[in-house]
Structure formats: C-alpha cells, structure tokens
C-alpha cells in the first residue's frame, strides 16, 4: 500500500542557514571585486602626482640649502675661533715665560715675592681679585699678571664659543641629512610613478613640456624690454639675466649652484654673482633683499620673482609674463609662463 505522507518541509532554521550562506557568498564576491587591482593611472594623473612630489622635493631642497649654508658658515666661524685660540695660547705662553724670567731675576736678587710665588704654583684668578694682592706686587709684576689674567679669560670665552658652535654644527649636520633624505625620498617616489608610464606616454609628456618651453621662449623674446640672448644687457639685473640665458638647457640638480647644474635659487644667486652682485643662497633669504614689487605689470627683466606661499621657488623675470628658471628635477634651465608654475606669484624683488 502506497504511503500518503506529505514530503518534509525544510525547517525554519535550515532556511536561515541557507540564506545566511548565500548572503555571505554575495559579500565575498563583492570584496573580491573591490580587491581587484585598480585601473592604471592615466598619464595626466601621473603627471599631476609627480608635479606635486616635485614641489614637495623643492620645498625640502630649499630647507636643505639653508642647512648646508649654515653648516658652511659655522665651519668657517669655528675655524677662525680655533685659530684665535691657538694664537692666544702662544701669547699666553710668552707672557708666562716673561713672568718666569721676572721671578728668576727676583730669586737671584734675594728671593721671590710671596704673592708671585703663589701665582706660579697655582691659578692666579681668585688671588688677583683681591686688591691686597696687587698692593704687594711691583708695578711691573702687576702689569704682567693682569695681562695673563686677561688673556686667560679671553681664551676661556673663545673656547666656550667654539664648544657651543660645535654643538650647533652637529645639530645642523643632522638636519642636513634629514632634509637630504626627504628630497631623495620624494624624487624616488616621483621616479617610480614615471616608470609606470609606457614609452609612448613618456614621449608625449616630454613633447608637451618642450612645446610649452618653446612657446614661453617666443613670448619672452617678443617683449621689447627683454634683452636678446646674444646681447649683454645694461644694468646689473640685465647682466644677471644674460648670464642666466647662457645656461639655458643646463640640467636641474637639487643643491647645485652651477656652473654645470642648478636648482632654482642656485641659478639666481649664480646669475647675480656673474653681474658682480652677491645675493643670499636660498629663495627665502633672497626674498628679503632689494625692493619688493607686488604688481606683475611693474616687473622688469632680471627682477627676482617668487612663487608659493612659503617662497620656495624663485626665478628671473623674462618679460611678457614669462620667467627664466631652473624648474625641478628632470628639467633644464628654461623659459616658462608664470601661469604654469604650479603655485601663485607672490612678489618680485628688484636687486
């Protein structure tokens, strides 16, 4: 006899388990989709990221330049102080020898004065501070002892100053190393991004930069106030500009001051040096010399022009809204429109 039992219905618990499993499978699929590698950045996206990294590298470069300049200054100051200490020690030895001769003469003539004998056996400073001591000495002895005391104090001050500067130098060297690592890190990151481009994309970027540079050069040289590359302009600003023109095509290298490579402030300081004018090494320091000009329309060829809020980029005004500058790693000294620098024009400086 056939069974007429109804088929078993799945329990509510079993349905819940199946539903949960299905939901989990959907979630895992979604996570897998999200975990899939993102699309390769476009050429323009890479350029934007690289430009930002180069800007950060240039900020660190100017800090590096400042630390390097401070290090060199401290080294010179320490060397001068050490030379002074060496000469001072020689003078002190001569004074002591002279006083020793005086003591020997006293001994031969009947004995050494007690106060002088005390000096020769120990440090005289505390003893000389007592007025009664000087009263017991002859005028010649007192004069000799006073000179020795003054020289000892002078040497102590010089040695203390040298010690302080040596500590400052050690801290500066540490800062210099840190800034150098920052620059190198940003440049390495930018290079990694550039290496992700195809050969065709790299060629396109290079062509775009070349076209922009040629357009800027044509614009600058069409300005009647701009001195042609073949002439030596009058005035120190013009002379500095002509010197910079002679370096068009020279590669950018961070920390470089010429003549075969430059960074931004390295080019401007070198150019003005060729015109017989000494200006500071860093863009921040260069911004604090001369006469500031806030209106772009009042700029003249050869004026220093500064960009970004922290003044970390500087070039030479070339006329018609163009500058001549050392832009960043991977480029050369060239003309460029002020509108494409990547940061706001802050002001110019007429040296």
**Does residue 120 contact residue 98 with C-beta atoms inside 8 Å?**
no
Q: Which of 4, 123, 232, 313 is catalytic?
A: 313
Token pair recorded at residue 201: 């994309």
Note the Cα 234 to chain centre separation in Å. 32
Q: Which of 123, 232, 264, 312 is catalytic?
A: 264
List the end-to-end C-alpha distance of the chain, in Å, as a whole number: 116
Closest CA to 281 of 297, 265, 302: 265
Q: Residue 61 class from Cβ within 10 Å (0-12 exposed, 13-18 middle, 19+ buried)?
A: buried
User: Is 313 tagged catalytic?
Assistant: yes
CB atoms within 10 A of CB 308: 18
User: Is 264 tagged catalytic?
Assistant: yes
Q: Give CA–CA dist 134/240, Å, rounded.
A: 64
Token pair recorded at residue 255: 């920390």
Token pair recorded at residue 187: 């440049």
User: Is 4 tagged catalytic?
Assistant: no
H-type helices in the chain, by residue range? 12-35, 43-108, 114-121, 125-128, 131-136, 139-195, 199-221, 236-245, 264-274, 283-286
Q: What are phi and psi of 166, to 5 degrees?
A: -65, -40
Q: Give CA–CA dist 185/191, Å, rounded.
A: 10
Residues designated as active site: 264, 313, 325
């Amino acid at each position: 006899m056939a069974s007429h039992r109804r088929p078993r219905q799945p329990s509510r618990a079993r349905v819940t388990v199946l539903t949960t499993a299905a939901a989990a499978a959907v979630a895992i699929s979604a996570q897998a989709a999200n975990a899939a590698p993102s699309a390769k950045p476009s050429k323009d996206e890479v350029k934007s990221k690289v430009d930002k990294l180069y800007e950060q590298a240039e900020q660190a470069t100017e800090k590096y330049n400042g630390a390097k300049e401070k290090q060199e200054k401290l080294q010179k100051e320490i060397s001068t102080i050490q030379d002074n200490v060496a000469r001072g020690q020689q003078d002190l030895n001569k004074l002591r020898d002279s006083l020793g001769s005086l003591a020997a003469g006293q001994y031969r003539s009947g004995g050494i004065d007690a106060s002088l004998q005390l000096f020769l056996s120990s440090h005289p400073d505390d003893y000389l501070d007592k007025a009664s001591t000087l009263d017991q000495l002859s005028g010649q002895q007192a004069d000799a002892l006073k000179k020795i005391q003054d020289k000892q104090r002078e040497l102590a001050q010089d040695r203390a100053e040298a010690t302080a500067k040596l500590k400052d130098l050690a801290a500066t060297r540490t800062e210099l190393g840190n800034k150098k690592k920052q620059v190198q890190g940003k440049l390495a990151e930018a290079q990694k991004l550039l290496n992700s481009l195809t050969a065709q994309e790299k060629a396109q970027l290079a062509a775009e930069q070349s076209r922009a540079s040629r357009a800027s050069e044509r614009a600058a040289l069409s300005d009647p106030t701009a001195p042609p590359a073949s002439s030596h302009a009058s005035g120190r600003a013009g002379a500095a500009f002509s010197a910079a023109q002679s370096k068009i095509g020279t590669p950018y290298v961070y920390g470089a001051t010429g003549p075969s490579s430059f960074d931004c402030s390295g080019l401007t300081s070198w150019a003005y040096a060729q015109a017989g004018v000494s200006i500071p090494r860093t863009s921040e320091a260069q911004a604090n010399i001369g006469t500031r000009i806030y209106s772009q329309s009042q700029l003249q060829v050869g004026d220093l022009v500064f960009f970004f809020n922290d003044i970390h980029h500087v070039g030479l005004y070339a006329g018609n809204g163009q500058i001549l500058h050392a832009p960043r790693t991977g480029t050369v000294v060239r003309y460029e429109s002020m509108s494409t620098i990547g940061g706001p024009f802050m002001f110019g400086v007429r040296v």
